[in-house]
Structure 1
Amino acid sequence: MSYVNRLCTRQQREITDADKKRLTTVFALCDVDKDGYLSREDLKMAVIMLFGYKPSKSETNMLIGPDSQFQGVTLDRFVMLVAGKLSEEDPYLKTRQIFNAFDAHQRGFLRIEDFQAAFCRVAPRLPERTAVEAFRQADHDSDGHLSFKDFEAVVNYGRANI
């Protein structure tokens, strides 16, 4: 499906079992105290993990709600809060944005140098060999270029196996 067709036919998608598993996993990872609740800071970390940005104070307050006796966000409430936002997310467009961010020279493909530079910006403490290994895994035809199709296949595999 072309980019234009995706935009024209974009609807909220159903939350899948994989989405629910992902939300449950993120909740468990962010529930630092392991008490079954996400604190304000835990909730911020969960939003970062799911959507790639730190929510503002007002967005966090909106997620928490008007309850002055805030004890934390339960798993059920967390799923309810983020499911709508997650359902609006278009995985293809998100993958395309990431690919374009990696493709700093706008060549339409990635070289190992692009991959290493992106990994260095995103995870500066990650060993360089990790970026090289990830690139080699994704470069199915071993031509030293990573097409969007190859990149998308790896990202989709990762999403399905989180």
Structure 2
Amino acid sequence: MIIELIVCFFATVSFGIIFSVPRNSLLLGGGIGSLAWAIYRLLPEYGVTSIFATSIASITAAMLAHFLARKYRIPATAFTIPGIIPLVPGSKAYYTMLAFVEGDYIGGLELGIVTMLQAGAIAAGIVFALAVFSFGKGIGHRYEGGR
């Protein structure tokens, strides 16, 4: 597990470089990605489904990203993008397409549904964190007719 986390950290930092994440947030983004991966890998050992583990890891990564974005005054996407990279179900998407190409339509559908649910869990986690951190921003600044 330790080797996985180290490799995950370097892979996350590498993707951060590819996506032009600011240098001062690369190491923190790598830490967020490693934490998200650890959550994703540990929760199924306690009986949690991989889709729910993905959503918990995504929520954790996005919440940390928004917190650090406020602390360091950097856009949240600088931390969110590297944080969710380890959770993206790329190999599952590949095996889904491979199953369809080989004519295993039922297996392809099963893998495709799991892939789409994991991608949806990532998106839901990001949206949930955004909703939490933007709650209350508009209070007191509403448009009140002609005043």
TM-score by length of 1: 0.26
Larger proportion of helix: 2
TM-score by length of 2: 0.28
